[in-house]
Structure 1
């Protein structure tokens, strides 16, 4: 059994995409980041960076004590190695997947995240910041679009953890100020992944938590963009 500490963010969706594709047994523990659950001591013991997602695998390969991990890229790599799926075994295929996994972790995710922040959440709208991150997001979309011109998926013919990492950061393209139709190869790839049954199941998970208490706007801003727990 894998315990998943989760909220319905792009990084959270990466993990459930894998778990649904692989058919692994898992249990969701909602971490309401707007309410500050990420600062709870029990969660910090698993994820010291106070960010979701995190997992605890009680049945690791080779047995022994449970394995806990934080950081979505590390989790995807761990799960791929645990199951032998969505990561090629050969040297060149593995290298292709890993470089694009780290491209997402170091580029698409952080830049799109800043795009969200300055476009949607920032109390002061700073034109320079908005323009800078919208344009950088568009550049990264262009990189992905070019990459997908002659292959079905990011790393080749097969769906991999590189796709699972990138797809959730494309889902909110409208909030990022992007027109997906301007990137036809990316659009084709996006639609194909969106139609996968595992994707549909993964994106239905947040519906389970619709009845959880909603944070106030002040709570949300403090807990999402502050650096310390609310009672620090």
Structure 2
């Protein structure tokens, strides 16, 4: 049986199936990237719900796996060289799982790097900007009298949606006919912007018809539908 005892995270969240990949997550826009990916590629895994609102990501066992104290993170019992391997940062995890299984990342070097650049576009721009819109539109930031921060992030989010819309105007997925980790990286964030953050009208989402069509197609995928609910809430368990 695989021994994961060297990883403190398994003391707080024991592995019932230590031979499976361990996912530590929550269904946030970053968290669902990995659950969607795992559902798409069919790799057996065990999920552990990390309640960030209760401070569980700050317990000492979790930063031992992810020093940044954020979800998601994984522990692969069959990592490089056949040894257990921990990894954090959702974009890095997507690339790792794609390389591990040979799925959802083109083998051709040029297309591979083209895909990776769009993953970085999400990590560096889509995620941070959409998250700020959520903060200043729906959460604590909305109480600020100065609306310039919200206006700045709304304007930048519109611009980013325009970049994505232009990319999708003549192709079904970000990489053309091939659904990839680039799509997986962004679906949860665009969904959150217009859904949970309730910012669709604010960013004029209806203007971006190609993004809307892409989002609808992505959300219709069975693996995406499953991944968006993983890990389930305690009441659904």
TM norm structure 2: 0.85
CA contact (8 A) 1:173 1:180 kept: no
3-state SS of paired residue (2:48) = strand
Aligned twin of 1:37 = 56
CA distance in 2, matches of 1:70, 1:161: 16
Give the drift of 1:203.
Answer: 1.6
CA shift in 2, pair 1:134/1:31, >3 Å: same
Question: 1:27 deviation in Å?
Answer: 0.8
Q: Deviations over 1:52-106 (max 9, x none)?
A: 0000000125312x11011000100100000010000111110110110000000
**Structure 2 partner of 1:55:** 74
Match of 1:181 in 2: 206
The answer for the alignment partner of 1:116 in structure 2 is 134
Match for residue 157 of structure 2 among 132, 137, 152: 137
Partner of 2:94: 76
Given the alignment, which residue of 156, 165, 179 partners 2:176?
156
The gaps in structure 2 that reach 5 residues or longer are: 1-19
**1:135 Cα offset (Å):** 1.1
Inter-partner Cα distance in structure 2 for 1:41 and 1:128: 38
Counterpart pick for 1:105 among 123, 145, 148:
123
Structure 1: unaligned runs, 5 residues or longer? 213-232
Structure-1 residue corresponding to 2:4: none
Partner of 2:215: 190
What are the residue-to-residue correspondences of 1:194-205 with 2, within 5 Å? 194-205=219-230
Q: Which residue of 2 aligns with 1:16?
A: 35
Paired positions, count: 211
Equivalent-residue separation in structure 1 for 2:179 and 2:209 (angstroms): 19
Residues 171-206 of structure 1, C-alpha deviation per residue, up to 9 Å, x if partnerless? 123323334321111111101000000011112325
Question: More helix by proportion, 1 or 2?
Answer: 1
Q: Using the TM superposition, give the Cα deviation of residue 21 of structure 1 relative to its aligned residue in structure 2, in angstroms.
A: 0.3
- TM-score, structure 1 as length reference: 0.87
Deviations 1:145-175 (A, max 9, x none): 0000111111221010000001111012332
Which whole-Å deviations, capped at 9, do the CAs of 1:28-60 have from their partners, x for residues lacking one? Answer: 111111110010111011010011000000012
The alignment's C-alpha RMSD in Å is 1.5
- 1:225 matched residue in structure 2: none
